[in-house]
Amino acid sequence: MAPMSLCMTGGTSTLRLCGSAGRLSGSAAHWLPLRRLALSTWYGAGMKSVSATQGRTIASSAAAEPLARGGNEGAPAGSEQQQPQQHGAIEIVVGPMFAGKTTELLRRVASYEAAGLRVAVVKSNKDDRYCAANVVTHDGLRRPCFASPSLAAFKEAAGAAYSGFQVIAVDEAQFFPDLQEFCTHAADHEHKRVVLAGLDGDFQRQRFGQVLDLLPLADSVTKLSARCKFCAQEERHVAAVFSLRITADSRQEVVGGADVYAPVCRRHYVQLSQVREVPLSSSDEA
């Protein structure tokens, strides 16, 4: 095992794993706190590589915090003060129809705005079910938004205001033809946090748009489920993970609500997917 030494500089603990030969001085009672520090600093701050002659340094979370925030705390006196650098990220929320994807998107928007971040909300202009100028949930929550055919068009429409947005929230993400390109550039190079909500699969359980292309690039992925419509009619609560189209239209892109789609479990999807038109219950027709 490589020897360790604990250094204290300005209230910051640093645990050094030396590469050269040596002995670890101190009793077992001294070793236990060092071991605990090694574990806490390893998981809390990560490892910083230095030259082989210096060994490897694991900084404590107190030392790494300014770097994690992107600030310049601890900079030499008289140095130029700069604004903290925001780190970009991609958050994905997927699920079938009626799973609450837009509701979750708006919840995150409200959370980021409460934290003081500037947020832009954009949706595809193909979604005209409720209101062209608003993102609207199935239960009536709404939020003003940009409605655009592409994310490049949204960026152009936003103009100079675009650079001030720290968070971009994208609803109905599966409809945007430039989704992967825009999100990757916004997160990697513009340091924006992109939160998108959309369908990961269509009514045939096939990939829908470019949402799945972003999974390897995402910082977080949340898959929501709804309640199976037909299990509910049997007074059973079963999670719905698929969207069943209940009309005969075979096009992939058909915008609609409960008159076109039903959230279903695997059993009911397999049973009903071959049916061209699924009869609605009397409660649906009312």
d(CA 286, CA 279) in angstroms, rounded, equals 13
In degrees to the nearest 10, what's the CA dihedral of 252, 253, 258, 260? -50
Active site annotation includes 172? yes
> Which of these is catalytic: 73, 104, 113, 172?
172
Q: Are strands 220-223 and 89-94 parallel, antiparallel or unpaired?
A: parallel
Query: What is the C-alpha to C-alpha distance for residues 59 and 73, in angstroms, rounded to an integer?
Result: 15
Task: Decide: 260 and 266 in contact? Cβ < 8 Å.
Answer: no
Distance CA 94, CA 212 (A): 10
Q: Which residue matches tokens 């698929």?
A: 242
Cβ–Cβ under 8 Å, residues 106 and 137: yes
d(CA 49, CA 141): 49
d(CA 72, CA 210): 38
What distance in Å separates the CA atoms of residue 38 and residue 17, rounded to the nearest whole number? 10
Please enumerate in sequence order all residues whose Cβ is within 8 A of that of 54, keeping only pairs 6 or more positions apart, or say none. Answer: 19
Q: Mapped to the 3 state alphabet, what secondary structure does 168-192 carry?
A: EEEECHHHCCCHHHHHHHHHHCCCC
Active site residues: 172
